[in-house]
Amino acid sequence: MTKARIQQIRTAAYDPAKLADFYCKVFGMKVVLQRPDEGVFLTDGHVNLAILKAGVKGERFRPEGLQGIGFLVDDLEEVEALAPKYGAIAGPVRRQRSDEEYAEAELLDPIGISVELSERGFGVDVPQDTTKALFPTDPWAPRAETKPRIQHVATGPYHQEKIVDFYCNVFGMQEVYRRPPHVEDNNRSGGIFLTDGRINFACNVPSIRRVGGLTREGFSHIGFFVDDAEEIYRRAEEAGALGAYPTPSGVYAEGHILDPIGVRVDVAQGGFAIQPSDDVQAFQGHDARAGRVVTSFVTSSEEEKQRIVSGFKKS
């Protein structure tokens, strides 16, 4: 099976430079590349965060928000053979090789999430000068551990097993943990967490309880592994976050923020599980052993919500 690693996350904003400034100030990301008509590309040293230009371009409309992910792969032909077999809606479709694009191909996963593919990498090295090539000689070269860094991405499929089957069989991801049903949400299925060895990939069934209606499938949020969550909340508030919620928001995250365009960003000091257990079922007691209250801001009492929000309101 081809070796694969999540190395890109794509989002979009009407003002990419402004959103890029937020991620640089709050999470210390660096600019890899800027293209006036396309967007700004950032790095945490491991993952490329592409902030694309939202709006109308030709006959295409790109909304604000999360767009898709990208895998560094060592055998694109093998992915092309496996993806349709395990439920890809479309593709992979090859792109004309260019020195100005990272991805060489794209597919749509079983719920329609765009997945870009590249054998040469997504530019996670900060160039020392403008003449340096976008692509490193060896995109698989080991990298020094850094924090903050992106360590978690999450999707919202109605049928988890289909997505788990796709990412495990096409990209060689492994299962880390299955969360028990959400008793507070009508026993909605708990998340299934996968890993590529570096990134935690969550398959969470969308909740219908919180919004009183249907929630569509899709790419839902990302998460950063940080040294000091309180410092991140402070920086986020100063840099224009729409909200900061330092209350447990999941199995691994100690809290989350909403970035300037409303994308949820989990914050975790303990990190997100990125290694599969020898016994996946052993993780079933993870929440209790960790001593965390697994809840979220939206399911907190009104009194608790006010207490949390009071310290993070803009003046």
Q: What is the pLDDT of residues 227-277, one digit of tens each?
A: 999 999 999 999 999 999 988 777 788 899 999 999 999 999 989 988 877
Lowest-confidence region among 22-26, 72-76, 138-142: 138-142
3-class DSSP assignment, residue 149: strand
* Mean pLDDT for all residues in the chain: 84
Cα distance between residue 304 and residue 233, in whole Å: 18
Least confident stretch, 116-125, 165-174, 180-189: 180-189
pLDDT at position 293 over 50 = no
Structure confidence by residue, pLDDT tens digits, 50-103: 999 999 887 788 899 999 999 999 999 999 999 999 999 998 999 887 777 899
Is the four-CA dihedral 101, 104, 109, 112 of positive or negative sign? positive
Q: Long-range contact list for 126-135, CB < 8 A, 24+ apart?
A: 126/30, 126/31, 126/32, 126/43, 127/32, 127/33, 134/32, 134/33, 134/99, 134/102, 135/102
- Hey, what are 101's tokens? 């694009």
Q: What domains appear along the chain, each with residue ranges and CATH number?
A: 4-118 (3.10.180.10), 149-310 (3.10.180.10)
Given a contact cutoff of 8 angstroms between Cβ atoms, the answer to whether 235 and 25 are in contact is yes
Tokens matching residue 150: 């992106």
Residue 271 φ/ψ region, left for φ over 0, alpha for ψ in the -120 to 50 degree band, beta for the rest: left
